[in-house]
A = this chain, B = another copy of it.
């Protein structure tokens, strides 16, 4: 670790039990994100200041930037480690799976993760409603993840991105499906199941279904 700040990737071994310290860091991160969303819902995205968010989360403004690189990152809960996690998840899928299957499985898991904390998810959806520019990122479908996934699938296939167009396109199409699904979900007032919509989007995009994600 070279930075010496809270933004560190965390414990080195993947299986390490979260230390007390890491737990606290995670809590602070969530508190900052939650505070940002709440305040944004209350007074509008542009009216919220980092200072307020930090105060609401009980840390100094300076510390805010140890957790999120930008105010917007805090609003959408952009966690670099989450991006890394998803990239690793793609890489961890069985080697014989075609990219489309690995991506579909991974993004499906991802969406399941979004709904883990229902209350927070409710607030985030509301924010997406009021600030559509943030919608894609709130659904975890921003540029950064797209790039990470593209890189991941190329690593899987071991093909040359300069000649193999299809692999990267598949990753980008998968992200397009996620964005389309969330957009539909949003304009539909968040009725119905986002997961179903995502499934439909994957199908419509011609991305092969993951045969069975229970094993």
User: Residues of A with Cβ closer than 8 Å to B?
Assistant: 132-133, 136, 143, 146-147, 150, 161-163, 165-166, 168-169, 172-173, 175-177, 179-181, 183-184, 187-189, 197, 200-201, 204-206
- Cα A146 to Cα B133 with chains together (Å): 11
Among B133, B165, B184, B189, the residue within 8 A (CB) of A165 is B184
Min C-beta distance of A78 to chain B, whole Å:
14
A179 contact set on B, CB distance < 8 A? 146, 172
Q: Is the CB of B165 within 8 A of A204?
A: yes
Most chain B Cβ neighbours within 10 Å, of A146, A172, A184: A172
Interface of A is mostly: helix
Min C-beta distance of A209 to chain B, whole Å:
16
How many identical chains are in the complex?
2
Among B136, B162, B180, B189, the residue within 8 A (CB) of A143 is B136
- Cα A169 to Cα B188 with chains together (Å): 15
Given A162-B184, A172-B179, output 17 extra A-B contacts at Cβ < 8 Å: A133-B143, A150-B183, A161-B183, A161-B184, A162-B188, A163-B188, A165-B181, A165-B197, A165-B201, A165-B204, A169-B176, A169-B180, A169-B204, A172-B176, A172-B177, A172-B180, A206-B206
Q: Which 3 A-B pairs have the closest CB atoms?
A: A172-B176, A162-B188, A169-B180
